[in-house]
Amino acid sequence: MAAHESVGRPWRLTPVQRLWLASIGLLLAACGLWAGVVRLLPAYATPQLPWWSVVPLFFAADRWPLTVNVRRGTPALGMAAAPLVIGLFYMTPIDVLAAYAIGVVLSSLLRRPLGLPQALFAIAQFVVLAGLTEIVFHAFPMATDDFRWAAWLAAASAVGVLVVGNTAAMIVFDHYDDRLRWRALSGKIGYAVGGAVASGCFGLIAVEFIHFTVSGLVVEGVLAAILLAAYRVYVAEHQERLALEFLHGAGDALGSRELESAIVQLLGRARTMFSSEMAQLTIFPSAPGEKAFRTTVRENQPDQVMDALDLAQLDDVLEAERDGVIIDKHKSAPATSEMLARRGITEAMVALLRGETRLLGALLVGGHVDSRAFDARDLQLFQTLAIQTSTTLENGRLERSIARLTELQEQLTHQAFHDSLTDLANRTLFGDRIDHALMRAARVNRSVAVLFIDVDDFKGVNDTLGHGAGDALLVGIAERLRASLRRPDTAARLGGDEFAVLLEDVADASEAEIVARRIYDNLREPFDVNGQTVNARVSIGVAVSDGDADSASILMRHADVAMYSAKAGGKDRYIVFAPGMETDIVSRHKLRADLELALAADQFVVHYQPVVDLLNGDIVALEALVRWRHPQRGLVPPVEFVPMAEESGLILPLGDFVLRTACNTLLRLQGRYPRPEPLAMAVNISARQLQQPLFVENVLTAITESGILPGSVVLELTESILLEDTAHIVKLESLRRHGIRIAVDDFGTGYSSLSYLRSLPVDTLKIAKPFVDDLGAEQGNGDFARAIVGLGAALRLNLIAEGIEQASQVSQLRELGCTLGQGFYLSHPVGVEEIEALLQGGGIDRSLLDVDGESRLEQVIPLRVHR
């Protein structure tokens, strides 16, 4: 049992502590009672007997108490009432007290003595009760040597005080707190009253004999001896019957089909039989490599059934030289005392369970519900129980049960260190194996490699195919990892869609990189998930040990850093850790923290780049572009923070901010600068935003709350986003039905297929900047731009040229038939004040549209920095 077994039990005074407190209180009361009143009281009648004449009676009453039940805690019948009644009539109170003290001392020398607190309490209790009986007896008005009804009433009242005092002590100390059981208590009170009445009657008969003829005491003594002998024979047979019933019940309990429930029933019966605080059975291992198992039953506490133990915890074999023994915390060797202290008890009976060829276990019963200590009768019954338990257990069922429990323990251990879904090692086991691999590698001057593997965009599988398909994909990945490794290597699942691999005995990073490539290629093969083909892409980080300073935590951190570098580099790749990567990761984490702070502090602003009619310079639309007004760096362009916002999920609140700000700005501009065709507003949408289940509802809410018409809003998405998931098309069609327009941003850099364009809910194509650049290049022929314009015309889609930086590009676009464009040549993204200035002036400077040839970037409206 662990050292902390007794922790958590509610604090209360133990029986021994209650005895000490009560004994001290009673002794103080007795001193005052006897010194002030009792010692002055005379003997009632003559002849006055010497104190030693009743010593044998007090001795017999204490030495051979009469009981009617074998269970500990049942009170002895109050036979001390007989000599006390004799003393009331024919002795002084001091003589009675002296006779009692000598008789009890002589009795204790011939039996197992009580503990000090029990003995002190018994003496203090009798001294107080004897004093009270003397006071009550002498309080009755009666003449000396008067043996009429008043004397008998006085004697009966004195015996009543004795009965009440003993009963009160029994209630307080044998049934303290929640142990009070009225049915059992009423039986005990009946035994106590019956014994006191019978003993008192014998005392009164003796008083009459002494008054009329002392020789009659011989007849009464013989009669009392005969009745006592007969009663003790009856009690012995009754005790034997109850013991046999207990042992029979214990045998029935052990005969249960389930070993665990059998042991719990056995221990519960033993704890009740011996009125103990706890009962415990420890089963020793039957073969090397097995564990020991311990079951503990305590009063008012949950049972602890078959707890597995190491051999070092088998502290209940300390009394191995005995088959059964009573041990006391204060009288035993230090090791035994510590064993009892760990269980929170001061006394116990312990026996070894011996089989024919080995020790089967140990049985222990300890602690006291009442104030009595274990005695020889308890020990004899306990030893018999231990022998019966050994015989019942050693029938082959014990070995089978222990083997089953050992197997169960191994299964639990396996589950504690392996992933339940894939049966790969978990993070705890993986870290432990890295530490051991590093120690082995150091001895042979080799290296250890760790690979971190993260499934790219795994959430999309769960969202589209369901979590069952996601789990099936993870199981498939685990199987391919096992197939990719050598026998000494370890594959692990760290949680979610993160896996790891430990490569032992590698020469250098190149060898680890070969394995990483093999794993990468194996995982790129399509998976069959519930009848559907799924392509998994992974980012892999590789870290290789390079010295004695390496540890599991360092290697795992390096592999993690490399994996995040692979993610940041575009995913679907593997990267070997190199010094300096950690700095990049730290910078990325700092950037994320700064982004969170910027959102909370309203550091983001929206700028607007005009979409210009290339024929007359009118501004037909604005594209909303977010900027970060950093307190130290000034305006930060999107390319520096949008990727991190996408990766971290911060793009969701940021995108909502841009959409709402753009809609509110558009409402103000449309009101101040009305025109036949209302000014439009284009807002970029990320893949992360489009994946949100309530994307359509959020967009419509923002537009409705701003008060603008849905037809004034254009949502811009890239080709890759549009083709990523068919669910996206459904959402975009829903938005178009409400009047919102959809534009394909950077068209021409992706699939650019006529077939997919015809199936997409698209209104506008934005010609990507590389194809517009080709128009202004010396050797460029503009074939791609010409093809896109033709494609747009065939599909009746609007066209907008992006990235215009030269006047020659304006003229060529007009020649191709593209009449809308935007770019630095026409205007940088600017604040809303600059946009208002342009709108108030009727658009951009017309001269920008009339000049051919040379670049006119110097004429672009400068970007005003907001502070």
pLDDT recorded at residue 701: 94
* Residue 729 to residue 709: CA distance in whole angstroms: 22
Higher pLDDT, 402 or 24: 24
Q: Which residue has the tokens 């030495």?
A: 63
Helix, strand, or coil (residue 428): helix
Question: Can you list the alpha helix ranges (DSSP code H) found in 344-453?
Answer: 376-393, 397-417, 427-444
| 420 confidence band (pLDDT: 50, 70, 90) | confident
pLDDT recorded at residue 218: 63
Res. 1: pLDDT tops 50: no
Residues 485-496 pLDDT 10s: 888 889 999 888
pLDDT recorded at residue 333: 81
* Residue 179 to residue 184: CA distance in whole angstroms: 10
Helix, strand, or coil (residue 360): strand
Closest C-alpha to 53, from 94, 108, 90, 105 = 90
- Cβ distance 441 to 494 under 8 Å? no
* Residue 622 to residue 769: CA distance in whole angstroms: 17
* Residue 614 to residue 56: CA distance in whole angstroms: 132
| 179 confidence band (pLDDT: 50, 70, 90) | very low
Res. 861: pLDDT tops 50: no
What 8-state DSSP symbol labels residue 2? -
CA angle centred on 698, ends 693 and 700, rounded to 5°: 125
The type of residue at 37 is V
**Residue 16: enclosing H or E segment and its boundaries?**
helix 15-36
Phi, psi of 577 (to 5 degrees): -60, 140
* Residue 640 to residue 591: CA distance in whole angstroms: 9
| 414 confidence band (pLDDT: 50, 70, 90) | low
| Average pLDDT for the chain | 79
Into which CATH architecture does domain 611-859 fall? Alpha-Beta Barrel (3.20)
Provide DSSP, 819-838. Answer: -EE-STTT---B-HHHHHHH
Q: Which of 202-211, 265-274, 404-413 has the lowest mean pLDDT?
A: 404-413
Give the whole-number percent of the chain exceeding pLDDT 70. Answer: 76
pLDDT recorded at residue 12: 58
Q: Which residue has the tokens 């338990």?
A: 389
Res. 596: pLDDT tops 80: yes
Cis-peptide, bond into residue 47, ω within 30° of zero: yes
Question: Can you list the alpha helix ranges (DSSP code H) found in 450-551?
Answer: 458-465, 467-484, 509-524
The CA dihedral of 647, 652, 653, 658, to the nearest 10 degrees, is: 110
Residues 488-543 pLDDT 10s: 889 999 888 999 999 988 888 888 899 999 999 999 899 988 888 888 889 999 99
3-state per-residue secondary structure call for 85-96? HHHHHHCCHHHH
- Cβ distance 402 to 283 under 8 Å? yes
| 215 confidence band (pLDDT: 50, 70, 90) | low
| 825 confidence band (pLDDT: 50, 70, 90) | very high
CA 849 to each of CA 71, 425, 798, 804, 812: distance values in angstroms, whole numbers, following the listed order: 113, 67, 20, 12, 11
pLDDT recorded at residue 866: 35
Residues 720-753 pLDDT 10s: 777 666 667 889 999 999 999 999 888 876 555 5
CA-based torsion, 388, 389, 392, 394: positive or negative: negative
Closest C-alpha to 330, from 542, 16, 722, 689 = 16
Fold of 244-404: Beta-Lactamase (3.30.450)
pLDDT recorded at residue 620: 94
* Residue 361 to residue 147: CA distance in whole angstroms: 65
- Cβ distance 713 to 683 under 8 Å? yes
- Homologous superfamily, domain 420-579: Reverse transcriptase/Diguanylate cyclase domain (3.30.70.270)
pLDDT mean over 633-661: 87
pLDDT mean over 291-310: 83
pLDDT recorded at residue 476: 92
pLDDT recorded at residue 163: 75
